[in-house]
Amino acid sequence: MICRNCNKQIARPLELYNGDWACPLCKKVLNVKSVDVTVTAENDETFKLSELCYLRALKHLGEKFGHTQYDTLLESAVEYCRIAARQGNPKALVRMGYYYEYGYLTADATESIRLAYEYYRAVWSSSPAVEYKSDDPDYADNCRKLRDIAANRYLDIIKRMPESHTGSGDLGYRDEKQKILAKGLSVTDDDMDDALGVDRISHVMGVLQSCFSSDRSPLFGIMRLSEGEFGTLRAVTDGGSKGAAKIVRFAKKITVVLFDVNDGSFKTIKTADNCNAVDGDRAYYLYFFNENGDHGISKRACAKIGKVLRKSDVFGEYARVKRLIEEMGRSVCISDYIFGEDDVLMYKSRFESYEHATDDLINSVINNVPKTGDRS
């Protein structure tokens, strides 16, 4: 991939909390359209692995709670798909749009719809280079079938996107439809694939479980829990003979803190007694910091970031976390902020400390300023 801003070749972009990509060199956000849509033997094999994991995951869809086979296989499916999409595989780009559109990936509703829109547009507006010789009908005639699918999903998003997601209620459906038809693509009214509803408790458990992954483990995050959801969460056991709460097992290796929605007080979860002392019928924000993860930054850097997040100011202890929570409370659609090391690296430079980079990240999220990587 080539960054259109600095014109440098990028082996892997920074992948940010909201699904955006950014150049690790100049720190500018990359549009999905920056990807050169191309089919190669390598990226097609990677996508096939993704689909195999996805189909196997569907066989475990009925499993309840904990980090199930469904969660594990779905994580693998998304990761393989992400790799293939970065390499420009059109099937992977369409599937990533599907994953965002139907809530498989952690992003708030507004960001998910925007990203799905961008992934679909990248495919239908492109002229794919089909280097991989095969009998696959999807690759025939300049990937015509795939581009038709992407175009129709793109238009479907425009048709049903609410005003709260667009700021105006009209994204120019007629104009976009004409652009698609001008490319010789077909517009149909076919129904979309069935959406997959992901259980909220399973989702939260899946995020916490991913802290122990050797690949792309999150660094810190905040997840909103509605009334009674923490009570359900702590009822999930680790499957051992003593039936200990799984959340407690997680809390032995990562920091887990509950912030009460009503009064802003917080409780650190470390033991079963801590867990049981929390009123499970109330609403909370669950904050975690992952000291355990296999991150690309040093343990010392992780410790510095964790220290910044715990610091006090006029908001009291965990001031920066509380500011993010306040931002979430003003939104009806944001239920999670999950950050990885790339989100901090987006703001880290040779002259910037990890502490300042973390502050810049949080200010960017709160103020919704362009993520340029420059300090003002």
What is the pLDDT at residue 110? 66
What is the pLDDT at residue 201? 84
What is the pLDDT at residue 316? 85
**Intra-chain end-to-end CA distance of the chain, in Å:** 29
pLDDT in tens, 108-120: 666 778 888 889 9
Q: What angle do CA 26, 31, 36 make, to 5 degrees?
A: 100
Give the number of other CB atoms < 10 A from CB of residue 2.
14
Amino acid type, 84: A
What is the pLDDT at residue 96? 93
Report yes or no: 318 and 324 within 8 Å, Cβ to Cβ.
no
Q: Please provide residue 101's backbone torsions phi and psi, each rounded to the nearest 5 degrees.
A: -60, -35
Report yes or no: 149 and 94 within 8 Å, Cβ to Cβ.
yes
Q: Which residues of the chain have pLDDT under 50?
A: 164-170, 190-197, 241, 369-376
pLDDT in tens, 92-149: 999 999 998 887 876 566 677 888 888 999 999 988 888 777 778 888 888 988 999 9
What is the pLDDT at residue 264? 83
* Whether the model pTM is above 0.75: no
Q: Please provide residue 249's backbone torsions phi and psi, each rounded to the nearest 5 degrees.
A: -60, -40
What is the pLDDT at residue 183? 84
Beta-bridge partner residues of 2: 9
Please tell me the number of Cα atoms within 13 Å of 193 on its side-chain side. Answer: 13
3-class SS of residue 221: strand
What is the pLDDT at residue 21? 78
